[in-house]
Amino acid sequence: MKMLARSRLFAPLFVGLTSSAWLALWVWDAGPYARYLRHASWAELPLVGTICREVPGASLTIAALLHSAAWLLMIAAMMLPSAFPLFDTFRRMTVARDNRRTLMALLIVGYATTWALFGVVAHGFDAALHLVADKVPSLLVNGWLIGAAIVALAGLYQFSSLKHRCLDKCRSPLMFIAEHWRGKSARRESFVLGISHGAFCIGCCWALMLLMFAIGTGSVGWMLALGAIMSAEKNFRWGRSIGKPLGVALLAWSAWIVVQHARIV
């Protein structure tokens, strides 16, 4: 009876965790540190700016901590709902084990680790683009070209076979667990399972996630919209039908950006 009661609590707790992440992002976006999400200068931020100016090395450390905290909040808010079928299937498969909570925690940590590594790469790529733009005046003036290219890339990727192969893996959680988890070295396999699923999840969604950098990572509305699209793609039967119309829409958006700026020129 206790096991059944705990099973019924899993979905509400998962919803509560995801909702808390969205609430934290909304509060952050509405607070005095909202500019941080939009790549503000650290010297402009209250309190943090003072620390960065007075303590050697503090700027880099605080930047890394805040970037990491914001990115993990975004992942919790946007990607955990799309991975719920895997977590729930894994919970049911390990419900009789005494260490089931530890195994679930390792699965989630593995999943988050993969997305954290992707965040490092994505933020590094974004920082490199800003550095190049600062040194090339023509690129800085025509920064909209980078935005249009990212939107077009996201649109084209919707038609790629790689995306659909990764999507198939994510849409079949039971088969995925059967392929990657035997339960012999349960803790290690749980962590690796989370990493593996996170890798395929990135394979599905990396191009759409890059839109966050083109649009601005502080836009909670865009995060909510993209998170809903990615969850629908992976969790609903009709999700596969979203891909091509979304790809066409993104390509049209990229073309519109080009046309609008061509008129100005």
pLDDT of 145 reads: 79
Residue type, 6: R
Provide the 8-state DSSP code for 237: G
The per-residue pLDDT for 72 is 76
Residue 36: the pLDDT is 52
Burial of 115: CB neighbours in 10 Å, binned 0-12, 13-18, 19+: buried
In a domain, 19, yes or no: no
Asked whether residue 57 is domain-assigned, the answer is: no
How long, in residues, is the chain?
265
The CB density around residue 14, as the number of other CB atoms within 10 Å, is 17
7 belongs to a structural domain: no
Residue 58 pLDDT: 46
How many C-beta atoms surround the C-beta of residue 60 within 10 A?
Answer: 11
**Residue 37 domain flag:** no
What residue numbers bound the domain in which 174 lies?
Answer: 73-264
**Scanning the structure block, which residue is given the tokens 């836009």?**
219
Q: Is residue 256 part of a domain?
A: yes
Is residue 228 domain-resident?
A: yes
Regions of the chain where pLDDT drops below 50: 1-7, 9, 39-58
The SS3 assignment for 46 reads coil
Please report whether residue 18 resides in a domain: no
What pLDDT, on a 0 to 100 scale, did the predictor assign at position 192?
94
**In the prediction, which pLDDT does 15 show?**
65
| Count of structural domains within the chain | 1
Say if 172 falls within a structural domain. yes
pLDDT the model gives residue 203: 92
